[in-house]
Amino acid sequence: MSEPYPETDATERPRPDPVVRRIGVRDVVEALIAGLRDFQAAPLFGLFFGGIYTLAGLAILLSLTRFGVPYLAYPLAAGFVLIGPFVAVGLYEVSRRREAGLPLAWGKVLGVVFAQSQRELGWMAFVTLFVMMMWLYQVRLLLALFLGFQSFSSFNGFLSVIATTPEGLMFLAVGNLVGAVLAAALFSLTVVSFPLLLDREVDFITAMITSVRAVATNPVPMLGFAAAIVALSAVAMLPVFLGLIVVMPVLGHATWHLYRRVVEPAA
């Protein structure tokens, strides 16, 4: 079976926009189950990409402690989930290959990930990182507005201030609200766009528009999927990010299967 990833030909006619289907909550549940099955069928790939994601989180956490800014641990952990769709590209490829009956070879999977990073997926990665930088900037701004320029020697000291003072509670409320808005925007832009760019030849603007259309067409199922991501990621982060080694690949595979349900295959 072939493994087509055609190069874009400038002389070709414009391709029609991807068609978005209506799905139900059951489709989300089945996508999550299919994601778990993919992880069970190819655990080494899942553990590899999940391990990279987890190690990156641990490295960032240790860096915050090393540079004396442990108070950024909570917002950074929340923002760290935002880059999950980009890291999961390799998992989408594993699911695509299993679906198409193609061999799961490390060279093929990693080769596709590298090749795609040089194309439209690179622009999507930029969008993802830009939103994460905006989130961190907003956190620093809110810290200055509500808590002044206090210094926190430890993460526990930071938690004590935000949990026991009116200014801290206001910072927590506004910060979570801003974070929720940014997370919702990025989820809408990326939940379908990353697997779509891997699957077929479209530009990243079309991919983002298709992703937003998918969310707008299916608000309840997509909200349920987003809630599942938040809940599972929060639980996985409790043991010092270690749960992400398993949770991240399962969610990555599930995202591919949800994409296949919500976007009609190319003609």
- Contact between 226 and 120 under an 8 Å Cβ cutoff? The reply is no
Cβ atoms of 230 and 216 closer than 8 Å: no
pLDDT for the residue 218: 96
If the chain, 267 residues long, is cut into consecutive pieces of 10 residues, what is the mean pLDDT of each piece? 47 70 95 96 92 80 66 62 73 93 88 73 79 79 76 67 81 84 88 90 90 96 93 81 87 95 87
**The predicted structure's pLDDT at residue 83:** 66
DSSP single-letter state for residue 165: S
Q: What is the pLDDT of residue 14?
A: 56
Distance CA 226, CA 252 (A): 13
Ramachandran bin of 176, using left for φ above 0, alpha for ψ from -120 to 50, beta for the remaining angles: alpha
DSSP at 42: S
Q: Is pTM beyond 0.75 here? A: yes
Q: Please tell me the predicted confidence (pLDDT) of residue 46.
A: 93
Q: How far is CA 210 from CA 58, 88, 191, 192, 207, in A?
A: 33, 19, 10, 7, 5
C-alpha angle 197-198-204 in degrees, rounded to nearest 5: 15
Kindly list the distances between the CA atom of residue 25 and the CA atoms of 11, 153, 218, 248, 258, in Å, as whole numbers in the listed order. Answer: 41, 45, 9, 21, 11
From CA 106, how far away is CA 98, in angstroms rounded?
Answer: 13
Residues 6+ apart with CB under 8 A from 116: 5, 89, 197, 198
Distances in Å between the Cα of 231 and the Cα atoms of 111, 226, 228 are: 32, 9, 5
Query: How many CA atoms within 13 Å lie on the side-chain side of 261?
Result: 25
Query: Would you kindly state where each structural domain of the chain is located, as residue ranges?
Result: 25-262
How high is the pLDDT of residue 210? 95
